[in-house]
């Protein structure tokens, strides 16, 4: 499984499953997303919490080796805050705009461009000013 | 809080999966991905590596070129000096120095970007070493095709130049404002996920299911800020 071909196959299989699932759950639908964040419709919130519960159980039973996660560095809270604001405005956490484009929402290409630009700006800003030590290769 | 019955019924009409089906699917994908690849699923990390593919490729080649650990350390240190100037490199290039840097010294600045892989000591798991960049590209492309198949099968696929009625009603119906907001939102998502070191998949699903404190904190914060902004958009604007 950990050969190059095995890793490629794993990413292909689970990428397909992820895109298919996200599309059918409705994460790419801005109305559904806003209804979750405003507590008008808890379906997707339960989906997310349920997924964490399922993954926790699976992780506990099946994954013997769990690496130490990143420590709480100075970027976690402000970074997550900015991400949350961006997610609520654009409706895109980094995988979602891909699904939106695949559903036919052409303007999501703009969101993707913004994501790419944001990552680039962060790289520059962190190298030059912030110098956060994240102690991780990024999740 | 109970869901509004009308809206809950509405989501059934939309044909989206009930919460338990989505939970099973996402949970299984999170665990299955980790079992198969030995790495945590993280879409923002995949994006970052694909966007920096040039540097990542260079490091991959460097890694092949330097089987000798000492030579690799020297090369990384030289690159660090070049990038960040004097004073940023750690004193020695003893085999432990680079690994130790992950917790303190500025060499790990470089970790944050294309993620040079630490010369894996015997104890490190596969998880700490990034996959070849082509794997991350495959993941993103596969998400696209998975989404396309999902949209086709469910009959939701339709090419359109807006973001759907929800966005038009809640945020803006003006195309120019929409483009500005989507770009700005994307900018915040890109910047924020790299700063926080993960997104809804890396922190939210993978990290939370492993009970990692940084991920639980990040998830609480990004959900919290998204709720605040969404309430503002819905109620005020």
How far is A8 from chain B, CA to nearest CA, in Å?
5
How far apart are the C-alpha atoms of A104 and B41, rounded to whole Å? Answer: 25
Q: What is the mean pLDDT of residues B33-50?
A: 92
Task: Compute the average pLDDT of residues B195-216.
Answer: 92
* DSSP notation for B134-202: HHHHHHHHHHHHHHHHHHHHHT----BSS--HHHHHHT---HHHHHHHHHHHHHHHHHHHHHHT--III
Lowest mean pLDDT among A121-130, B36-45, B113-122, B134-143: B113-122
Q: How is residue B116 annotated by DSSP?
A: P
Give the DSSP letter of residue B128: G
Region label for B127, one of left (φ > 0), alpha (ψ between -120 and 50) or beta (otherwise): alpha
Q: 3-state DSSP: chain A helix, strand, coil percent, rounded to 5?
A: 70, 0, 30
Q: Tell me, what's the pLDDT at B66?
A: 64
Across the interface, which of A7, A67, A103 has its CB nearest the CB of B156? A103
Share of chain A above pLDDT 70, in %: 92
Report the pLDDT averaged over residues A97-119.
96
Over range A30-57, report the average pLDDT: 95
Q: What is the pLDDT of residue B76?
A: 75
| pTM of the full structure | 0.80
Mean pLDDT computed over A46-73: 88
Query: Is the pLDDT score of B6 beyond 70?
Result: no
- The two tokens of residue B89 are 């490199």
Domain parsing of chain B, residue ranges: 38-153, 160-237
How far apart, in Å, are the Cα atoms of B134 and each of A8, A78, B25, B126, B148?
A: 7, 31, 25, 17, 21
Residue with tokens 């790289």: A123
pLDDT at residue B2 tops 80: no
Selected for mutation to probe chain A from B12, B14, B15, B29 (highest A CB count within 10 Å) is B29
- pLDDT of B95 strictly over 70: no
Beta-carbon count within 10 A of A47 CB: 27
Q: How far apart are the C-alpha atoms of A87 and A106, rounded to whole Å?
A: 18
pLDDT digits (tens, 9 = 90+) for B141-161: 999 999 999 999 999 999 999
- CA B68 – CA B71 distance, rounded (Å): 5
B28 close to B20: Cβ distance less than 8 angstroms: no
Which one-letter DSSP state was computed for residue B235? I
B94, pLDDT greater than 50: no
- Is the pLDDT at B123 greater than 60, yes or no? no
Q: Residue A70 — very low, low, confident or very high, per pLDDT cuts 50/70/90? A: confident
| Tokens at B201, concatenated | 């998949």
Q: Look at residue B7 and tell me whether its pLDDT is greater than 70.
A: no
Q: What is the CA radius of gyration of chain B?
A: 22
Choice among A13-17, A26-30, B71-75, B186-190 with the minimum mean pLDDT: B71-75
CB contacts of B98 in chain A (<8 Å) are none
Q: What per-residue confidence (pLDDT) applies to B11?
A: 46
Q: For an interface test with A, which of B41, B44, B142 has the most A Cβ atoms less than 10 Å from its Cβ?
A: B142
Instruction: Tell me: pLDDT of B225 over 70.
Output: yes
pLDDT at B53: 86
Q: Is residue B106's pLDDT more than 60? A: no
- A67 or B12, higher pLDDT: A67
Contact between chains at B156 and A23 (C-beta distance less than 8 A):
yes
pLDDT at A93 over 70: yes
What is the mean predicted confidence (pLDDT) over B91-109?
44
Residue B74, token pair as written in the block: 């020297």
The pLDDT mean for chain B works out to: 79
pLDDT at B93 over 70: no
Task: State ipTM.
Answer: 0.93
- What is the SS3 assignment for A77? helix
| Tokens encoding B90 | 């750690």
Q: Which residues of A touch B83 (CB under 8 A)?
A: 127
Per-residue pLDDT band at B16 (split at 50, 70, 90): very high
A74 close contact with B: CB closer than 8 A: no
Judge contact between A80 and B225, C-beta under 8 A.
yes
Element (H, E) at B213: helix B213-231
Range B5-35 burial, b when 16+ CB lie within 10 A, else e: eebbebbeeeebbebeebbbbbbbbbbbbbe
- Residue B237: the pLDDT is 60
Q: pLDDT grade, residue B4 (50/70/90)?
A: very low
Q: Does A58 touch chain B if contact means CB atoms closer than 8 Å?
A: yes
For B43-78, how does the pLDDT look when each residue is reduced to its tens digit (9 = 90+)? 999 999 999 888 888 888 877 776 566 666 777 777
Q: Cα distance from B25 to chain A (closest Cα, Å)?
A: 7
Whether the per-residue pLDDT at B104 is higher than 60: the answer is: no
Q: Is the pLDDT of residue B216 over 80?
A: yes
Residue B57, judged by CB atoms within 10 A of its CB (0-12, 13-18, 19+), counts as middle
pLDDT at A96 over 80: yes
Q: Are the beta carbons of B100 and B91 closer than 8 angstroms?
A: no
Q: Among A23, A81, A97, whose Cβ lies nearest the Cβ of B151?
A: A23
Residue B100 is predicted with a pLDDT of 43
Beta carbons of A85 and B196 less than 8 angstroms apart: no
Q: What is the 3-state secondary structure (H, E, C) of B46-60?
A: HHHHHHCHHHHHHHH
**β-bridge mates for residue B160, sequence order:** A105
Q: Which two tokens stand for residue A137?
A: 């290769």
């Amino acid at each position: 499984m950990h050969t190059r071909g095995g890793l490629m196959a794993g990413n292909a299989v689970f990428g397909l499953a992820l895109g298919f699932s996200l599309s059918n759950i409705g994460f790419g639908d801005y109305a559904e997303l806003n209804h979750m964040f405003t507590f008008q419709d808890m379906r997707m919130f339960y989906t997310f919490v349920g997924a964490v519960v399922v993954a926790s159980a699976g992780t506990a039973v099946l994954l013997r080796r769990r690496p130490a996660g990143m420590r709480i560095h100075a970027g976690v809270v402000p970074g997550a805050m900015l991400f949350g604001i961006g997610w609520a405005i654009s409706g895109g956490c980094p995988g979602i705009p891909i699904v939106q484009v695949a559903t036919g929402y052409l303007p999501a290409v703009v969101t993707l461009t913004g994501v790419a630009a944001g990552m680039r700006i962060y790289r520059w800003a962190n190298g030059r000013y912030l110098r956060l030590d994240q102690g991780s290769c990024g999740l | 809080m109970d869901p509004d019955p009308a809206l809950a019924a509405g989501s059934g009409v939309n044909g989206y999966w009930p919460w338990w089906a989505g939970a099973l699917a996402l949970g299984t994908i999170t665990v299955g991905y980790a079992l198969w690849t030995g790495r945590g699923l993280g879409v923002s990390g995949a994006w970052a590596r694909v966007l920096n593919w040039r540097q990542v490729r260079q490091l991959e080649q460097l890694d092949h070129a330097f089987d000798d650990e000492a030579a690799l350390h020297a090369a990384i240190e030289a690159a660090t000096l070049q990038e960040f100037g004097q004073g940023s490199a750690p004193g020695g290039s003893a085999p432990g120095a680079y690994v130790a840097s992950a917790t303190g010294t500025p060499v790990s600045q470089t970790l944050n970007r294309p993620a040079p892989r630490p010369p894996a000591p015997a104890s490190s798991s596969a998880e700490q070493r990034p996959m070849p960049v082509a794997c991350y590209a495959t993941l993103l492309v596969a998400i696209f095709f998975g989404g396309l198949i999902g949209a086709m099968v469910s009959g939701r696929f339709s090419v359109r130049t807006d973001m759907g009625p929800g966005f038009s009603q809640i945020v803006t119906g003006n195309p120019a404002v929409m483009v500005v907001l989507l770009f700005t939102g994307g900018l915040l998502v890109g910047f924020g996920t790299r700063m926080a070191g993960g997104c809804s998949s890396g922190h939210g699903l993978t990290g939370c299911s492993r009970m990692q404190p940084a991920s639980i904190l990040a998830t609480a914060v990004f959900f919290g800020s998204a709720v605040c902004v969404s309430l503002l958009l819905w109620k005020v604007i």
